[in-house]
Structure formats: C-alpha cells, structure tokens
Amino acid sequence: MAWAIIVLNDAQQERFLKAYDVAKRALMNLGIYPANDDEKNELLELDEMEQGYPRMTLQMMYDIVRYCVCTVAEEQEDTYLKTIDFHRNRDRISSIIQQAKLPGHIWSWRKVQGSLARLLRLGIIDNPKVKVPDYESITQTGRVTIIDLSDTDSHQINNLVMAEILRGLLMQQEKNYEIATTNQIPIQKVMIVIEEVHEFLSAERIRQMPVLFQQVARIARRGRKRWLGLMFVTQLPQHLPDEILGSINNYILHKITDTNVISRLKRTVGRIEDSLWNRLPNLAPGGD
C-alpha cells in the first residue's frame, strides 16, 4: 500500500486510511469493483493488506484525498477529477465523502495529499509501460534471475519492489506446488538470495516498512513446504533485527572479529560449541 512507502505519522495514517475507505466505497458504489457476482465472491477472500483493493489506483487515491482536503478546509472543491469514472460521477463522490465523517486538522490532510502527489510524480506505481514480472519463467528449474536495485537511492522504493517481488514469487511457487502435487511430478525448487540484506532489513527499516518483513516472514513460514527458500547475505549481521535472525535455520559464518557481534550470534544461533566460536576471529579472509 502507498502509506508503506510514504512516511506518515499516526494522524496522517488515520486520514490516509479514511480516504482509502472512501475510495473503496466509491469503487463499490460505481460498480467498478466488484462488478459481478464472481468478483463479489472474490472480495470475501481478499487480503487487502497483501495485495490492496482491486482496480484502485494511486490517481484514485489522490483524487479522493484532494476532495477530502477541500471538504475539511471548507474550500470550493475543484470539480475536475483525473479519474474518469470519478469525474463523471462527481455528485456521488461528493455524497460519499460528506457521509464519511472525516477527521479534521487540515495540515495532516495536506501532508497526505503532498506525499501522494510526490508518488504520482515518481511514476513508479500504476505505470502502464512497466510489465508484471514473468514469475512462471523466473521459477523455472535451472534459471538464474538477477534483479538490480542499485539505480535508486530510495530505501522505501527498494523495499516496496522487494516486497512485491517476494509476494509474486510465493504466489507462483504455490501454483507450481499445486501443479506438481496434482500431476505427481517433481516440484521446481526455488532459492531467493538477498544480497546486502542489512540495507533492506535493518531493525530501523522494518519498523518503517513492515510490508517487506511480512513477506519475508510469510515465505519463511509457508515456503519451506513448497521448496521456496531464502538466503540472506551480509557483511554486517549486527544490523539485522532479532525477527530476521530468529527466522534463519542455517548459518554460514566467515571471519568475524567483533566480539559483540559474535556474542549476539551465539545467543541467537545456539547449539554450537564455544571452541568453534573462538575460531571465528582467526579465520582467513573468506574462510569458513
């Protein structure tokens, strides 16, 4: 969801979620989603926190938030909405917003509007020029796919991309597992390797971006049975939170000289003789 990559305080998140509820009601009221009985049944099983609300776009959210800002500020709202279906049904949108009992404090609303405007300018969400990754091809046996996130300086964007890719891979591997089980054929085994994991999953960043940690935790919980594995690579294990270290089953440790790092790993890993821990500082570079 958009609020996962825009930094909002509690008051601003409350207003974002209020606008999100208004947008949902608008999509339902206008018959955009659900549009038929099949989609009504689909809605009963929908996990909005994992995949969002179908057919709701960032532009829709921005239009609703801007309309809410005008309503709370008691300003004359701009009658033009870029979302065509909303623009054609301005009176119905206005009625839904008027019934929503919007919280006050206009500056919190304006912060949400500004943050969504910046996301729109970035052009990274709902971009028609960007195709969905071919997860079926990526999970084929014998294939290696490298996803390079080094061309962006935004940790929030990187984490959102990683969360979406991890979700897509898990969903595809569940399909692969179902097909293999049904047809009694060997399952395609998949290993996800996250390099420099401390850049994405430090203690501070998972508090700011819980969506990524949720996807990691979901793979750790459900992926093992489906032969979907995770490998974390880092030179700075001390920056990883306990939630991540606690989900790891196997460790490969190279030379570590920092006694504080060794002590923390000893508490986390356990079941290893002290004599082996004592060897860590004396290993050759890259030695294990």
DSSP symbols for 232-244: E--S-GGGS-HHH
Q: Which of 222, 223, 227, 232 is nearest to 194 (CA)?
A: 232
Q: Is the Cα dihedral 29, 30, 33, 35 positive or negative?
A: positive
Domain at 135-250, CATH class: alpha beta
In the block, residue with structure tokens 């339902």: 28
Q: What is the pTM of this model?
A: 0.73
Question: Looking at the predicted structure, is the pLDDT value of residue 243 above 90?
Answer: no
In the block, residue with structure tokens 């990683």: 162
- Give the pLDDT of residue 288: 47
pLDDT bucket at 211, cuts 50 / 70 / 90: low
Is residue 15 within 8 Å of 114, Cβ to Cβ? Answer: no
Query: Which structure tokens are listed for 173?
Result: 């591997």
Name the amino acid, one letter, at 75. Answer: E
What residues does 228 pair with on adjacent strands?
Answer: 190
232 φ, ψ to 5°? Answer: -105, 135
Query: Which structure tokens are listed for 286?
Result: 């890259």
Instruction: Work out the mean pLDDT of the chain and round it to a whole number.
Output: 85
Q: What is the pLDDT of residues 138-188, one digit of tens each?
A: 999 889 999 888 877 777 777 778 888 888 999 899 999 999 999 999 999
Q: What is the pLDDT of residues 83-106, one digit of tens each?
A: 899 989 989 999 999 999 899 889
Q: What share of the chain is helix, strand, coil (3-state, %, to 5)?
A: 55, 5, 40
Output the CA torsion 17→101→92→126 (10° steps): -10
Radius of gyration of the chain (CA): 23
Ordered by start, the domain boundaries in the chain are 2-122, 135-250
Is residue 86 within 8 Å of 26, Cβ to Cβ? Answer: yes
Q: Which residue has the higher pLDDT, 231 or 8?
A: 231
For residues 213 and 240, give the distance between their C-alpha atoms in angstroms, rounded to a whole number. Answer: 12
